[in-house]
Structure 1
C-alpha cells in the first residue's frame, strides 16, 4: 500500500490510488454479478459506462471512494493488512450507491455526479430495483468474509441499515414539518449519513479482528465524521457550485428542505429568520428570485455560521473517538487527512 507523504491541501482529497487498486476488481466483480438490467443501471450510476452500456473512456469510478478508504485504513489502524477489509470496503460502497439511487428518486434530483441521475434515464422502477439488488449483494459480500468475522460484519451492516432507514424517514418527514430543532436534525444526520461512514470504519476493524473497544472507537470516529460531512455538504448545497458538486445548487432551498443552515436560521431570532419562516411556509413554489432571497436570509440569520461551527465540533469529536481505537501513527495521519478533506471542501 502506498503511503500519503504530505498532508492534503485544505479542500483537496488525498490520493487514494491504492484504494482503487484493492477495491475496483472486487467491486466490479460484485456489480457484474447483478442481473443484466440492474447491472446496466449500476454501472451507469458509477460512471463505468453510458446508458447504452458502452464503456466510458473518461470514467472516473463513481466518486472518491472515501468510505472504502476508511474501511481499509481502519484495518491498517489496528495492525492488519488492508486486503482483509476489502469485503467491508465493497459492501459499504454498494450500500452507498443503493442510498444514492433511492435518494435521487425520493428527492427528484435530476443530476448525479455531473450526469443525468439513473432514474431520469432508466425510470424510477429500474433505479429502485437496482438499489435493492446492490443492497442484497452487499450483504452477500460480507457473508462470504472469512469465518469468525463474517457474522460480526453482517450484524454491523444490518444495524446500520436500520439506522439508515430511520434517518431517511426523518429527513423526508422534516420536509412537511414547520419546526425542526437543531438536535433533531443532528440525530437525523447521524442516522442518514453518520451511520454508514461509522459502519465503514467499524467493518475495517471487525474484519481485521480488532477487539470491541477499538471497533467502537472506529465506529464513533466515522459517525461523528459523517455528521460533520453532512454539515459541510449542507453548506455546499446552498452556497456551492453545481460545477463542483454535480448536483443543482439551490435545489434544496427550492424544495424547502430543512438542511442544517436552514434549521438553525429558522430557529434564530430577528427579522431575517421571520422572513425566512414566511417564505418557507408560502403556498406557492419558490422561483429563482425567491431561492436567492432564501439563501441571503439563511446567511443573515446565522445559518451558515452555525453549520460550519457544528462541522468543526463534530470533526473534533471524531478525532477524539479515533484515539480510543489506538491507531497506528501512519494510519491515524491518513485518516486525519481524509477527515479534513471531507469537512473542508471548497465550494
Structure 2
C-alpha cells in the first residue's frame, strides 16, 4: 500500500463505530441524566458507563452497532449525522432495556463479563430500570419538534417495539415446546422470531435515522428490511457463539445455551436432519445437562450439520441485506460505511 493509498483508505469498522459512538455519547448521557439518580445509576451500569455505586468505568461499553446504524442511516439518505442522533439514542435505550429484561427472563447472571443488572441490583430494581429506559426511548423521539419526520420516526420505533415484544414472547413460548414431533419448533418459525426479536430494532435503527433526515417512505422501508435480514444473521451468530463461543469474548459460559435448553438455530437445524435421534434423546433427558452431556450435545449438533446449516442461513440473510442496500440509491460514502460495519459483523461472528 502506498502512502497516498493509505491516506485515502476507507475507515475500518471500529473507526466508524467509534465516530458514531462519540457523536451520540453526549446526547445519551444527557438523556440518562434526566432519570431518578438511582435508576440512572442502574441505566449507566447497564450501558457499561459505571460500576455499582456509580463510579465511572472505561472500556466496558458495547460496540454501539444500533446507534451507529441510526447515524449512518441519516447520512446514507444525504442527511447530516446530527439528524440521526435522537434516533440513535432511542434505539440504544431500547436495546439496553431489552437486554436488561432478557437477562431476567433467561436467568442469565452475566452480561459482558460482569454481573447482569438484576444480579447486581436485584430483580425488582432491574425491572424498574428497564421500564425507565423503555419510556425514555419513546420520550427521546416525542420530545423532538413535531414534524412529519419526527412523527414517522416515532411510528417506526413503536412498530419495532411491538415486533420486539412479539419476538420475545415467541422465544419464551418456544421453551415450552418439544424438541421433536408435531409440536417441535421449525427453522422457519425460528427465523420469524429472530426477525422480530433482533431484526426489528436493527431495521428500526437504520430507518429511524433515515426518516429523521427526511428519507422517503420506500427508502426507509428498504433500510428497515435490510436491518431485519441483518438481525436474523446477527441472532444466528449469537446462537453459534452461545454454543461454540469463547467465554473470554462472549462474557458467558461455554455451551451456555445448550445447558439452558435454548432452542437455537444450530440445534433446530440439526434436529431437522437425518440421524438426529441421539441428539433428540440427549436433549429430552430430565434435568440440566452436565459438562459431559453439553460437550456431547455440541458435537452431535455439529455432526448432524446444524452448525454448517446455521452458517449458510446467516450468510443468506447477510446477502439479502446487502442487496437491499445496493438497491436503495444511498449516498456512496455512508453506504460504504454501512457495508463495512455489516461485513465486520459477519466476519467477527460467522
**What is the distance in 2 between the residues matched to 1:169 and 1:106?**
11
Answer yes or no: is the 8 Å Cα contact 1:227–1:311 preserved in 2.
Answer: yes
Deviation at 1:146, TM superposition (A): 3.4
The within-5 A match list for 1:323-334 is: 323-334=326-337
Deviation at 1:144, TM superposition (A): 1.8
Residue in 1 that maps onto 2:262: 257
Alignment: residue pair count: 338
Aligned to 1:345, the other structure's residue is in SS state: helix
Deviation at 1:15, TM superposition (A): 4.1
Q: Which of 304, 307, 311 does residue 310 from structure 2 map onto?
A: 307
Q: RMSD of aligned C-alpha atoms?
A: 1.6
The within-5 A match list for 1:233-252 is: 233-252=238-257
User: Which stretches in structure 2 are left out of the alignment for 5+ residues?
Assistant: 1-6, 179-183
**What is the distance in 2 between the residues matched to 1:131 and 1:262?**
30
Aligned to 2:348, the other structure's residue is in SS state: coil
**What is the distance in 1 between the residues matched to 2:90 and 2:98?**
12
Residue in 2 that maps onto 1:60: 59
Residue in 2 that maps onto 1:87: 86
Residue in 2 that maps onto 1:44: 45
With the length of structure 1 as denominator, give the TM-score of the two structures.
0.94
**What is the distance in 2 between the residues matched to 1:83 and 1:52?**
32
Answer yes or no: is the 8 Å Cα contact 1:216–1:325 preserved in 2.
Answer: no
Answer yes or no: is the 8 Å Cα contact 1:4–1:334 preserved in 2.
Answer: no
Change (3 A) 1:346 1:161: closer
Runs of 4+ in 1 over 6 A off after TM superposition: none
After superposition, give the CA deviation of every residue in 1:117-149 in whole Å (9 maximum; x if it has no partner): 110111111111101100100000001223312
After superposition, give the CA deviation of every residue in 1:177-234 in whole Å (9 maximum; x if it has no partner): 1111000000000000000000000101100011111111111111111111111111
Residue in 2 that maps onto 1:5: 9
**What is the distance in 2 between the residues matched to 1:286 and 1:217?**
43
Answer yes or no: is the 8 Å Cα contact 2:67–2:89 preserved in 1.
Answer: yes
Answer yes or no: is the 8 Å Cα contact 2:21–2:67 preserved in 1.
Answer: no
Between 308-317 and 143-152, report the one with greater CA deviation: 143-152
The within-5 A match list for 1:327-346 is: 327-346=330-349
Answer yes or no: is the 8 Å Cα contact 2:167–2:195 preserved in 1.
Answer: yes
After superposition, give the CA deviation of every residue in 1:50-75 in whole Å (9 maximum; x if it has no partner): 1111122xx22520110011111111
Residue in 2 that maps onto 1:34: 35
**What is the distance in 1 between the residues matched to 2:158 and 2:278?**
43
Answer yes or no: is the 8 Å Cα contact 1:4–1:14 preserved in 2.
Answer: no
Residue in 1 that maps onto 2:156: 156
Deviation at 1:173, TM superposition (A): 1.0
User: Which stretches in structure 1 are left out of the alignment for 5+ residues?
Assistant: none
